[in-house]
Amino acid sequence: MASVLPVLAKATVLIVDDDPDVLLALAVLLQPLVSQVTTEKNPERMPTLLRQMRFDVVLLDMNYQRARNTGNEGFYWLAQLRQLAPSTAVVLMTAYGDIDLAVRALKEGARDFVVKPWRNEKLVAALTEALGRTSGTGATPTQSASGTAALIGESDAMQAVRYKLEKIAATDANVLILGENGTGKDVVARLLHHLSPRAAAPFVAVDLGAVTESLFESELFGHLKGAFTDARQDRPGRFEAAQGGTLFLDEIGNLPLPQQVKLLAVLQNRQVTRLGSNAPVPIDVRVVSATNAPLYQLAAEDRFRKDLVYRLNTIEITLPPLRERGDDVELLAHYFTAHYAEKYRKADLTLTPSALGRLRAHPFPGNVRELQHTLERAVIMAESVTLRAEDLLFSALESTVPVAAPLRLDELEKSAIQRVIDKYQGNISQAARELGITRMALYRRLGKHNI
């Protein structure tokens, strides 16, 4: 716990809970670590306390005397805190661990969410991270606009995702996350870590699409000084850096076969050997992987090892594209509009029916990320308190389909791809070259059109 002490040392903490035993236990835990701890049993006294003193963080129970199991009072007082002390970090507590409550808490401005009975290390880490985010020194794995928004939604598809998260977050099972670009795979990986017993340990992300073959072993497994020309000192790899925590392997579908073999050996043996060393290092990490590539098709074509797929996907989560999430588009649109209106100090902005209609009609090939960028631009350029359809400009980076004739152009794309595939008798490399796209982009389109 010593590593978190410098961050907490100057902090003033307010704990609000109707259980005297909880207040005493938290005060005993935190008093040696922080500058000052104030405890309060009655949440009605919070406004007075906030006027009398500035608190860096409030640890707030979600259930008091009324509606004890719903968390409604916690959300009410969270909203009050956001108004009365917007710079104060809020960490919510409840005895009723529920993924929907956690996501809603983060959406409505909480820095973190702790389930009772808590583990001391995890609670202290949550407070430390919350303070770091407030001061700008910490990471924000679930509190960014895109991170919070990724799981907003009431569609059946998102309910299924949340159900799986609730079931698997507390386990050590390896997870494979599938989905198109922009659907929030990295955010789900961070949330899995955040809600797991490993939350106080490191979350280490590796973009395998950006790791060259020559540096793969050094990057993931580490090296000793002198192992190769530029190895000027010993360096642990990402597996060792994630010890006790979660290792997120993004773009796993880009991994070449020789590197797949090396990764498989590490996952099977639960140990790594640094370059230049013969001494294996035991590892204790949970591996979460993600890809937008057609992994099963690659495995069927012997371009991705089936045994590695089995190692990676003890549990599989498929994130739905935004175009299949129905009314979630409107929920996300309202969220992003409010978020960026606050960020850019605009008046309370609203979306007109025409703007919402345009958003509902757009196919969003860039998914949640594209929607976020569209609304950020619209808020920045807004000249009134309403956003109209004409204020929404969609990204030219995506191969979007005009709203007027989405099906017809979709069919044209499918037909063009089919002709080129037939021309080269299924040779993906040659077909991609003629179409002017990458092989991975062609695979995505093949999956999209069921070719």
CA 220/CA 231 separation, integer angstroms = 14
Query: Which CATH number goes with the domain that contains 164?
Result: 3.40.50.300
Residues 115 and 262 both lie in one domain: no
The residues, ordered by sequence, that sit 6+ positions from 206 with a Cβ below 8 Å of its Cβ are 219, 220, 238, 247, 248, 249, 250
- DSSP secondary structure string for all residues of 187-242: HHHHHHHHTSTTTTS-EEEEEGGGS-GGGHHHHHHEE-TTSSTT--S-EE-HHHHT
153 and 276 housed in the same domain: yes
Nearest to 293 by CA among 179, 184, 187, 370: 179
Which position has the higher pLDDT, 69 or 30? 30
Rounded average pLDDT over 249-265 = 94
| Phi (first) and psi of residue 281, to 5 degrees | -115, 120
**Cα angle value 30/32/34 (rounded, 5°):** 65
Residue 399: inside a domain, yes or no? no
Higher pLDDT pick, 290 / 93 = 290
Same domain, 115 and 160: no
Q: Please, is 131 exposed, middle or buried when counting C-beta atoms within 10 Å of its C-beta (0-12, 13-18, 19+)?
A: buried
Q: Residue 188 domain-assigned?
A: yes
Does 443 score more than 90 pLDDT? no
Is position 127 within any domain? Answer: yes
Q: Looking at this protein, which amino acid is placed at residue 231?
A: A
Q: Provide the pLDDT for residue 357.
A: 93
Residue 143 located in a structural domain? no
Whether 314 and 173 have beta carbons less than 8 Å apart is answered as: yes
Among the candidates 318, 344, 379, a domain finishes at 318
How many Å is the Cα radius of gyration of the chain?
24
Residue 246 has pLDDT above 60, yes or no: yes
Report, as an integer, the average pLDDT of 67-72: 58
In a domain? residue 400: no
Quick one: 261 and 356 in the same domain?
Answer: no
The reply to whether 261 and 167 lie within a common domain is yes
As a whole number of angstroms, the longest Cα–Cα distance in the chain is 77
- Could you tell me if 314 and 250 lie in one domain? yes
Q: Which pLDDT band holds residue 122 (cuts at 50, 70, 90)?
A: confident
Q: Could you tell me if 441 and 291 are in contact, meaning their C-beta atoms sit under 8 angstroms apart? A: no
**Residue 41 shares a structural domain with residue 115:** yes
How far from 308 is each of 25, 238, 257, 324, CA to CA, in Å? Answer: 46, 19, 10, 30
Q: Which of 121-135, 246-260, 273-287 has the lowest mean pLDDT?
A: 121-135
**What does DSSP assign to residue 252?**
G
396 found inside a domain: no
Domain boundary among 138, 158, 179: 138
Task: Verify that 197 and 274 share a domain, yes or no.
Answer: yes
376-432 pLDDT, tens per residue? Answer: 999 999 889 999 999 999 877 665 444 333 445 566 677 778 878 877 777 888 887
Whether 164 and 311 map to the same domain: the answer is: yes
219 and 261 housed in the same domain: yes
Assess whether 132 and 96 both reside in one domain.
yes
Domain boundary among 364, 391, 418: 391
For residues 178 and 120, membership in a common domain is answered with: no
Domain presence at residue 144: no
pLDDT of 69 = 55
Number of domains in the chain: 4
Residues of the domain holding 20: 2-138
